[in-house]
Structure 1
Amino acid sequence: MKKIQTGQLLKGPRSVDSLTQVLGQSERVKDIVEECADDLSSVNAGLKRELLGGNVSPGVENALEKSEGVESKVQDASEALSSVNTELKEEVKERKVLDAQLATVTTQANEARHASLHDPLTGLPNRALFNDRLEHGLAVAKRNGVHLAVMFLDLDNFKMINDSYGHDVGDLVLQIIAGRLKETTRDEDTVCRHGGDEFLYILMEIESEQDLVIVAEKIIRAVQVPCDIGVRDISISLIINPSIGISIFPKDGTTSEALLDVADKAMYRAKQNKYGYSFSS
């Protein structure tokens, strides 16, 4: 008779793959038990033939009785295993359904979280995510004694685009500009859409104002590349000029509110002076 190795059947919560593996093991055990039942049935049939033929030892009849009892138990075990396997199959089906539902809910939750923290038009971080990263960046800057900068960027005369060509053209321009701003952002920095035609930057670990000048000029050049727009019956090439205000931690403030206020005012100075960018002083 073959030795049955059941392994660890149904020990605690399992994944679908694990349950499927257990089901496979249980099916193999069932096959072995059925094979054993068939072997016992064959042996018992042989013993019965010997009894019918006579001239057998006195213990054969007793052995046959015990063997038939074992056969009955093995058959019962086979039927019980078959029932267990049926339940396991149903469990696997249910787990697959639950896993699919969990995956759907997880995806929806991730999408909802992403939507709550990103601008739907440009895909950039929104003000909520910007504020969170700015607070984190300030904590890191204070702890490590390094400089941090905030840039406030506004697109000059953007309202004229919406008024002249329509908001769909304005939206396309914003999407193009947002893509360019993202391309000019380092991995450790953050650019977000503040609202309308305004954008915000966080620049970490700035060494000097000259570093900021280089970044600001790079952003201006990227924004000023003509935006080729083709929508409805409109085909135009628009050149957009940005105005950038810059504030620096800790020189211009040690809180997010102070840094944003200084950068906002510097941006309006840059717009008035038509210089492209401006520091707090």
Structure 2
Amino acid sequence: MPTTKTKISNSDVKSLAQVLDQSEKIKDVMIECADDLSSVNVALKQRLANDVSSLGVENALQTSQSVEEKVQHAATQLSAVNQALGDEVIERQILEQRLETAQAQADESKHASLHDPLTGLPNRLLFYDRLEHGLAQANRHGWGLAVFFVDLDNFKIINDTLGHATGDHVLKTVALRLKETIRNDDTLCRHGGDEFLYLLLEVGDQEHIAVIADKIMAAIEAPKDPPELSSITIPSISASIGIAIFPKNGSSVEALIKSADEAMYKAKLAKENYVFA
């Protein structure tokens, strides 16, 4: 449900509440007028009782009593209207709360469908979408673009010997280290298992990309854990990285990821930190 509808509903409830407030003030004034007329009528009745021949006073009293009855009747009707307005305000507030809850649930569901539950990183679905968009922009503006395929070394051994809890901790640690290293406009995702993908937009030449690869590797191999995850001691971490460049190594999402994946395996076999496709 679009957020704009929620904003409009907020405005409607606020406007209705303002109308109700004004209406209540008018009702109070009418009640005061009715009370004043009632006091005047009492005085007229006393005067008429003392002067039975005063036809003008009698006519004035009749007119005033008639006006008093109309004002009291109008005040009663206005009170009923205000009650209905009050009920409507409550109903709209309840509806607004339900809309906000539904919007929050929809946002949470959308976020969950596009992010990895362990690391909080974008998942492959969101990464592929951003890579597709990045390719369209690169084609339109003549920009460079690179995809890093990052695979942790010896992760299976860590899982088998130290347990899955430590393995999960390693993955979260790597995710935090990488998030602190990448640029805001780029995208990092957990591709699955111990594999990560990194999309670099508007990159320069291969030398410039190599500098970024060195920073990524240094972040992965950092000796200290991020403060958020310092409660568990983990083994040293290393990785192998394959790098594919658009359009040299592919012009589609699938081609670039495949090229980067193949380069990663070459890096792992050669025991190199990273290899270009």
TM, length-normalised to structure 2: 0.90
Aligned to 1:193: 190
Aligned to 1:109: 106
- The whole-number CA distance in structure 1 between the counterparts of 2:233 and 2:60 is 100
Q: Deviations over 1:91-124 (max 9, x none)?
A: 2222222222222111111111110000000000
Kindly indicate whether residue 205 of structure 2 is the aligned counterpart of residue 205 of structure 1: no
Three-state SS of the structure 2 residue aligned to 1:125 is coil
Which of residues 8, 12, 15 is equivalent to 1:15? 12
Aligned to 2:211: 214
- Identity in percent: 56
Q: Which amino acid aligns with 2:196?
A: F
- The whole-number CA distance in structure 2 between the counterparts of 1:90 and 1:193 is 50
Once the two structures are TM-superposed, the CA of residue 228 in structure 1 deviates from its matched residue by 5.8
Aligned to 1:64: 61
Which of residues 178, 181, 186 is equivalent to 1:184? 181
Q: Which amino acid aligns with 2:168?
A: D
Change (3 A) 1:171 1:16: same
Once the two structures are TM-superposed, the CA of residue 186 in structure 1 deviates from its matched residue by 0.3
Change (3 A) 1:46 1:252: same
Change (3 A) 1:14 1:251: closer
Whether contact under 8 Å (2:170, 2:234) holds in the other structure is no
Aligned to 1:151: 148
Change (3 A) 1:14 1:37: farther
Once the two structures are TM-superposed, the CA of residue 82 in structure 1 deviates from its matched residue by 1.4
Three-state SS of the structure 2 residue aligned to 1:238 is coil
Whether contact under 8 Å (1:50, 1:56) holds in the other structure is no
TM, length-normalised to structure 1: 0.89
Kindly indicate whether residue 95 of structure 2 is the aligned counterpart of residue 98 of structure 1: yes
Once the two structures are TM-superposed, the CA of residue 50 in structure 1 deviates from its matched residue by 2.0
Change (3 A) 1:235 1:145: closer
Which of residues 23, 28, 52 is equivalent to 2:25? 28
Moved more, 68-77 or 12-21: 12-21
Bigger helix share:
2
Once the two structures are TM-superposed, the CA of residue 227 in structure 1 deviates from its matched residue by 6.1
- The whole-number CA distance in structure 2 between the counterparts of 1:167 and 1:237 is 12
Aligned to 1:45: 42
**Structure 2: 5+ residue stretches without partners:** 1-8
Q: Which amino acid aligns with 1:95?
A: R
- The whole-number CA distance in structure 1 between the counterparts of 2:233 and 2:66 is 93
- The whole-number CA distance in structure 1 between the counterparts of 2:24 and 2:97 is 25
Q: Which amino acid aligns with 1:27?
A: E
- The whole-number CA distance in structure 1 between the counterparts of 2:148 and 2:75 is 75
Whether contact under 8 Å (1:176, 1:227) holds in the other structure is no
Which of residues 157, 160, 170 is equivalent to 2:157? 160
Aligned to 1:8: none
Aligned to 1:135: 132
Change (3 A) 1:269 1:14: closer
- The whole-number CA distance in structure 1 between the counterparts of 2:11 and 2:253 is 48
Q: Deviations over 1:132-167 (max 9, x none)?
A: 100110011000011111110000111000110111
Which of residues 255, 263, 267 is equivalent to 1:266? 263
Once the two structures are TM-superposed, the CA of residue 19 in structure 1 deviates from its matched residue by 2.8
Three-state SS of the structure 2 residue aligned to 1:108 is helix
- The whole-number CA distance in structure 2 between the counterparts of 1:126 and 1:105 is 24
Once the two structures are TM-superposed, the CA of residue 34 in structure 1 deviates from its matched residue by 0.4
| Superposition RMSD in Å | 2.0
Q: How many residues align?
A: 265
Once the two structures are TM-superposed, the CA of residue 52 in structure 1 deviates from its matched residue by 1.4
